[in-house]
Amino acid sequence: MTTTFFNPSQGRRALLGATVAAALLAAWPVQAQETPIKFQLDWRFEGPSAFFLLPVAQGLFKAEKLNVTVDAGNGSGNAVNRVASGAYDMGFADLAALMEFHANNPTAPNKPVAVMMVYNNTPAAVFSLKKTGIKKPADLTGKKLGAPVFDAGRRGFPIFQKANGIGAVNWISMDPPLRETMLVRGDVDAITGFYFTSLLNLEARGVKAEDLAVQLFPQFGVKLYGNAIIASEEFIKKNPEAVKAFLRAFGKGARQVIADPKAATAVVKERDGIINAELEERRLQLAIDSAIATPDAKSEGFGAASGPRLALMASQVADAYATKSRINPDTIWNASFLPSAAERDIFVTAKRPAKK
């Protein structure tokens, strides 16, 4: 018969160890928990998508305890609708499309709100071939203009028209893939489109840059804001700290994208292997130059928006879009989640390839 003696000190140590282990196990789910965020882009994966794909690839969202998934889109209007429906928590959309949604759906229960400006200046532009003789905005009077019906430049054209004394024009509608083709064939005299989209699409169709006349809206008195990061009302109420964390991580990623567009484009290539990396790097740089790192953005601060500009845009969009009600800029913009001005100082010197 074997007699076992109980050692009180060993029992206490065992009990203490079990207690500590239980405490660690109980705390672990809290420490590892991440807030899921479904994010909707405005368009397919192209160069500018790097601003959202790079923070995912670099783990910047993970570092903020966020589990972010980014999906391609098919237009700002659809991005706004999908966030409003609750299918997505946050998204990227043209501010004018967001304003239109608010004005036409005043009783909607989950209206998205813009929380950070990305395209401080709209990239909308008018393109024509120089051989048509269109050299200035007034030359568009009486001409045939082409664009999809939902194109931001077409929707906002009445603002451009009024600012530049342009008379009546005739609109021809088409699907996005046909827009630049119809201009090259002479089916239309001019088209509207995002600068960094239509310019490269026209080059791909054999048009040389020197044969194009390009009129960017901001260069002709139209200071509309472009795309912003939006979030649903419900997500903001339930996860205010997650919204702040998302914007912090986004700002860190944006700094990297601007500093090295080539490396940023490689991240987009990883997500969509069929893209032309060289072409998308050019598209990304054009977006940075024309819409992001602009004098207005540097003056106001990246991510921020000016109250007077917002109010003017709200009035202009209500008129141009013929909305059901007027637009209150205070209901579509919430700057309270923005990182500090220092954290949003992303305009570093970009790494550009040396000229040969």
Euclidean distance between CA atoms 10 and 346, whole angstroms: 58
Q: Which residues of 114-132 are buried (b: 16+ CB within 10 A; e: fewer)?
A: bbbbbbbbbbbbbbbbeee
CATH number of 33-121+225-332: 3.40.190.10
Which has the higher per-residue pLDDT, 19 or 66? 66
Predicted confidence (pLDDT) at residue 5 exceeds the cutoff of 80:
no
pLDDT value of residue 263 = 97
Q: In which band, very low, low, confident or very high, does the pLDDT at 148 lie, cut at 50, 70 and 90?
A: very high
pLDDT value of residue 354 = 47
pLDDT value of residue 16 = 52
DSSP letter, residue 178:
G
Long-range contacts made by residues 157-164, C-beta under 8 angstroms, separation at least 24? Answer: 157/192, 157/320, 158/319, 158/320, 159/217, 159/222, 159/224, 159/316, 159/317, 159/319, 159/320, 160/124, 160/126, 160/217, 160/220, 160/222, 163/220, 163/221, 163/222, 164/136, 164/137, 164/138, 164/220, 164/221
Predicted confidence (pLDDT) at residue 303 exceeds the cutoff of 90:
yes
Tokens representing 314? 């709200």
Question: Residue holding tokens 């845009």?
Answer: 313
Which of 21-35, 64-78, 105-119, 296-310 is predicted with the least confidence, judged by mean pLDDT? Answer: 21-35
For 35, 137, 293, the CA distances from 268, given in Å and listed in that order, are 24, 36, 20
Quote the distance between the C-alpha of residue 192 and its chain's center.
Answer: 19
pLDDT value of residue 6 = 46
Which has the higher per-residue pLDDT, 104 or 8? 104
CATH 3.40.190.10 domain position(s) in the chain: 33-121+225-332, 124-220
Predicted confidence (pLDDT) at residue 20 exceeds the cutoff of 80:
no
pLDDT value of residue 331 = 95
Predicted confidence (pLDDT) at residue 297 exceeds the cutoff of 70:
yes
Predicted confidence (pLDDT) at residue 172 exceeds the cutoff of 60:
yes
Euclidean distance between CA atoms 265 and 279, whole angstroms: 10
Mean pLDDT taken over the chain: 91
- Residue 225 has a CB neighbour count (10 Å cut-off) of 26
Which of 9-23, 49-63, 123-137, 147-161 is predicted with the least confidence, judged by mean pLDDT? Answer: 9-23
Q: Is 3.40.190.10 the CATH classification of the domain at 124-220?
A: yes
pLDDT value of residue 30 = 46
Percent of the chain topping pLDDT 70: 88
Tokens representing 100? 């239109």
Predicted confidence (pLDDT) at residue 12 exceeds the cutoff of 80:
no
pLDDT value of residue 19 = 56
